[in-house]
Structure 1
Amino acid sequence: MRILIMGGSVFLGRAITQEALRRGHEVTTFNRGRNGVDLVGVEAVRGDREVPEDLDRLVAGREWDAVIDVHGQVPRVVGESVRRLSGRAATYAYISSISALSDFPERECDESSPLFECAPDAGPEDGHYGMLKAGCERAVEEGFDGNALIIQPGLILGPYENVGRLPWWLDRISRGGRVLAPGDPDRAMQLIDARDIAAFVLSHAEAGTADRFLTSGVRGNITYGGWLAECRAVTGSDAEFVWVDDGFLLDRKVSPWTEFPLWAPGGPEFAGVWLPSSAKAIAAGLTCRPVAETVRDTWAWLRDVPPGERVFRGHGIDPEKEAGILAEWA
């Protein structure tokens, strides 16, 4: 197959590109060339999807069997890509997000859950991330003349993660000592590897599927305590976890989700965060590797990145703040 990947060099886009090449497809990537590295074997086209002339240059003389749009975040911008690619490919696969569902993370979700209200021609000023993703979905479904495949991933981890969640925990735990561990170690999570989403997307792009799938992994595939224990095991660290109650941390203005990545305190705000249903996707062929494998492979990549060059994108607690809370807790 001939596949165009909008993005294709960073994290999930890289995983999709790598899997497409492994399957023997002819791959074109379209990006600005500012992040990531082009994989050997792709036709790399440089351009900005917000510049109409760059899109015109991309499509000139080219056609594909499928387009996979990994990084579209503004409905109006995605709509421009859709208009130019409609008629030049049979399938348009759009990588959305579980955040496009208005029930998330307060309630359980599946493909029938309502989307946020957002117009398919909305601009960046017209809503938050989840709203704009919902608008992008509508731009694809309403504007593409062909098969529209919508993928709504949950919490994605894996090698080359550019969000900083698992990398921050691996970095922190690798330094050892007393490590503040937030909340309940028995709290069940639901994590998925970027490479498993990549395989699923490509299988359905190959089949010309027109549908939507929530791809959030298997419920309860690890606990928070088990996840941190895997980080300690792969790094060979002597870290000692000190589990601190949710309320104690919230009283000290510790921010959920960011200061301790993927820490979701008990309560209504995060009641459904680990309860999305991937049953439809699993029935359609989604397979999920053990979280331990994801942790191991991510560390194998990260340990080759010098500590001073590791990027966590605002994730992680300040060491002095962590030490102060540990002292208070003791």
Structure 2
Amino acid sequence: MPLALSILDLAPIAPGRSARESFAASVELARAAERSGYRRVWYAEHHNMPTIASSATSLLIGHVAEHTDSIRLGAGGIMLPNHSPLIIAEQFGTLETLFPGRIDLGLGRAPGTDRVTMRAIRRDATSSDTFPQDVLELQGYLRGESRIPGVQSTPLADTEVPLYLLGSSLFGAQLAARLGLPYAFASHFAPDALHEAIAAYREDFEASEQLAEPYVIAGVNVFAAEDRASAEAQRAISYRNRARAFVKRGQGGRDYTDDEIDAFLASAAGAQLSAMTRYTATGTGDEVRQYLEDFAASVAADELITAHHAEQVDDRVRSVELTAQALKLI
């Protein structure tokens, strides 16, 4: 099976831009992915993050689905401990009913936010303890085989919504293996346990009704441009913005100059932040292709989730297009 590519979209709000503009950019990015041969676009649930607009994930999926024709769209992921399994089943049953054969549901157990916001969500600190049972409860609703007597999810779509487990540790890998579900590792921002987790997933995998063999997805950051200098400049801007948001959250929200951010990135704390994006492909289409092929081979990935982080929408779309052309997706 040829390597599949998908895209992670956080609906980023660039400096000086609005959330409405970020949603328009998400539509543009999905349309580019659709015409370029990507398998799907994933949208991640985050909360209380001023630069990320994908918090109401199911609503964003529905909006993009209305403005595209065929590409699959999924949550990558819904942080299930923040929600009732029944409510998520109703949301994604509705999406699948409206857009049959196009909806995927990735699930994670992290809060997708900080502890104060967890309390605002009304999430209990121990809610992740029941994640395995919640996944099974949700799966039952989506199949019309409820595990809760007298409770069914409505609407029940004619086609089943596939489940994916997302994680960055051995826990998620082992659970995905036990349940026979596809496993996506968040190596685009949490790379440390990638190889160990994928090895455990493959070793422990048990076939299920949804999946006969292991299906491995790995995340990787991408900056593809017409020339390497442009790609490196886009990467520098993006990762400075990321570091700036991190520092502002911890230091009272004041603005920092590029020189101050560069000094932070050169420090021990900054080096730790930079290490989170260890897996980043940067360069021309051919350079990105070589990096992605080598990265995929290192874990025998069936699919890569590519996160295109260029600040400007046009650069992000071009990165999507150049990557697809280099890997001959169409």
Q: Could you state the TM-score of these two structures normalised by the residue count of structure 1?
A: 0.35
Larger gyration radius, structure 1 or structure 2: 1
